[in-house]
Amino acid sequence: MKPSEPIATTTSGTTSATLTATTTAAPAAVPLLDLRRQYDSIRADVLAAITRVCDSQGYILGPEVEALEREISALTGAVAAVGCASGTEALWLALVAAGVQPGDSVITTAFSFFASASAIVRAGATPVLMDVDPGTLNLDAALVRKRIVERRPANLRAILPVHLYGQCADMDAFGEIGQEFGVAIVEDAAQAIGAEWRGRGAGSLGTTAAFSFYPTKNLSAYGDAGIVTTTDLGMAEHMRRLRNHGSPRRYYHDEFGWNGRMDAIQAAVLRVKLTHLADWNRSRQQHAATYDRLLAEAGLISRAPSGGSASSTNGSPVRLLARSPEAKHVFHQYVVRAERRDELRTFLADRKIGSEIYYPLPLHLQPVFSYLGLKAGDLPIAEQAANEVLALPMFAELTEGEIRRVVEGIAEFYS
Ligand SMILES: Cc1ncc(COP(=O)(O)O)c(C=O)c1O
């Protein structure tokens, strides 16, 4: 779908007249995310899927969840998938199945959503928070390698790279580090469903991987849900037990698990949406290209995005993040680094243009992680990013007119 075209008609046969109008007239407001447009385009299919579950009277796990697990396995190229209650739950399952135990250490990025590190704590381990690559803002593999060589954390069991904003971390480098030092690679793919690294799907690039279907994600449930993928059948079986109270059969328990199960209604909704995911991700990529082009035409950025450092401003107020040539980026977020970011955000908000900061405080500076002993200045790239990043409106149904309005707003602020 081209950005300037009206919202596509689906099998439900609904096309929103109001949405069509927003593609031709200058839109008054540009939301960061508008889930209603997606809902309008798939409403009949989603309601039919929910009705199917209600008619079956089977509400937890069951055939809908099993079908979704097969479909996500096929999409990612993983050996198996295990549906669960949330992305946070998926991270815990992924870590425990990969062998993380109380007393272990797990290296992860300081620049992510809280759950990337809190799931490590819930597994009984210590997060070792490290800095990010200045270009992509993903966990810096060179720093991780250096740290392991020079000062290996005690009982290092796993590395947890996050595919931030929908772009895979350097999985060549993390694969090598995992092999060389005998540690598991656990992908936090919460933001990266459909993303690839060298043509291989996120979710099949490490030992285990966690996805979130939180409502704002590229593939989103109508509530909380998540899934874990793995390249190891034994680990998949372990995760199936863990999500169900560590129970191999009803009322028998070999280990401590939890209720981390997925609801059938969520699986049914997700299966409807999964049939659109490739198109939606393609639309996001087109919107990113439109942002790139319009920002360049407005003279707000000095060069096209590329690999390497994004740390020099070249006199431009806005900088793009680096795009790894090996990565198929699915633009969960379109994030720029902006001078006077907070003022820009307020200026845009006054013009009803949505934006968000992912994330305003790196994990090592969160009060709850003070026990790790890191302080301001210790992870300077993450700290600088937290002061500069701004996510602009991004969702499949966004129109070119809306993107134009966002860029005009940014240009007006810096003029
Ligand atoms: C990078 C990352 N990890 C983990 C999570 C946790 O997922 P959930 O909100 O589904 O528990 C999220 C979602 O917000 C995320 O963005």
Reported as a single tens digit per residue, the pLDDT across 194-235 is 999 999 999 999 999 999 999 999 999 999 999 999 999 999
Q: What is the mean pLDDT of residues 25-46?
A: 91
Whether 250 shows a pLDDT value over 70: the answer reads: yes
Whether 5 shows a pLDDT value over 70: the answer reads: no
CA-closest residue to ligand 1 atom 12: 190
CA separation for the pair 86, 108 (Å, rounded)? 20
Distance 25 CA to ligand 1 centre (A): 36
- DSSP structure string for 83-137: EES-HHHHHHHHHHHTT--TT-EEEEESSS-THHHHHHHHTT-EEEEE-B-TTT-
Which atom of ligand 1 is closest in space to residue 112's alpha carbon? 1
166 ligand 1 Cβ < 6 A: no
CA separation for the pair 346, 57 (Å, rounded)? 48
Q: What is the mean pLDDT of residues 88-107?
A: 98
Which atom of ligand 1 is closest in space to residue 89's alpha carbon? 11
Q: What is the mean pLDDT of residues 2-24?
A: 33
Whether 21 shows a pLDDT value over 60: the answer reads: no
What pLDDT does residue 321 have?
A: 97
Whether 158 shows a pLDDT value over 90: the answer reads: yes
119 ligand 1 Cβ < 6 A: no
The region of weakest confidence among 2-11, 75-84, 105-114 is 2-11
What pLDDT does residue 315 have?
A: 77
What pLDDT does residue 314 have?
A: 64
The whole-chain average pLDDT of the chain stands at 92
CA separation for the pair 333, 165 (Å, rounded)? 5
Distance 166 CA to ligand 1 centre (A): 12
Q: Which of 214, 220, 331, 359 to mutate to test the pocket of ligand 1 (most atoms within 8 A of CB)?
A: 214
Distance 88 CA to ligand 1 centre (A): 6
Residue 25: pLDDT band with limits 50, 70, 90: low
CA separation for the pair 208, 181 (Å, rounded)? 17
Cis peptide before 359 (omega within 30 of 0): yes
115 ligand 1 Cβ < 6 A: yes
Whether 52 shows a pLDDT value over 70: the answer reads: yes
Residue 13: pLDDT band with limits 50, 70, 90: very low
Residue 20: pLDDT band with limits 50, 70, 90: very low
CA separation for the pair 155, 386 (Å, rounded)? 30
Distance 50 CA to ligand 1 centre (A): 24
Which atom of ligand 1 is closest in space to residue 163's alpha carbon? 1
Whether 48 shows a pLDDT value over 60: the answer reads: yes
Q: Do residues 1 and 283 lie in contact, with contact meaning Cβ atoms separated by under 8 Å?
A: yes
Distance 108 CA to ligand 1 centre (A): 14
Q: Do residues 322 and 338 lie in contact, with contact meaning Cβ atoms separated by under 8 Å?
A: no
353 ligand 1 Cβ < 6 A: no
What pLDDT does residue 313 have?
A: 52
